[in-house]
Amino acid sequence: MEIRFAILYHPSVPNKDLPALSQKDKMRIRSAIEQKLMTEPEIFGVPLRQSLKGHRKLRVGDYRIVFRMEKKVVYVIAILHRSIVYGEIGKRIS
In the Cβ-directed half-sphere of 90, how many Cα atoms lie within 13 Å?
6
Q: Is residue 85 in a domain?
A: yes
* CATH, residue 46: 3.30.2310.20
pTM assigned to the model: 0.92
Tens of pLDDT, residue by residue over 53-76, are 999 999 999 999 999 999 999 999
Amino acid at 64: R
Is 26 part of any domain? yes
Residue span of the structural domain in which 43 resides: 6-93
Estimate to the nearest angstrom the gap between the alpha carbon of 66 and the chain centroid. Answer: 4
Structural domain contains residue 1 = no
Residue 22 is assigned to a structural domain of this protein: yes
**CA distances, 44 to each of 1, 22, 34, 47, 73 (Å):** 14, 23, 12, 10, 15
Query: What residues of the chain score a pLDDT lower than 70?
Result: 1
Asked if the structure places residue 54 within a domain, the reply is yes
81 located within any domain: yes
Number of domains in the chain: 1
Residue 39 counted as domain residue: yes
DSSP single-letter state for residue 53: T
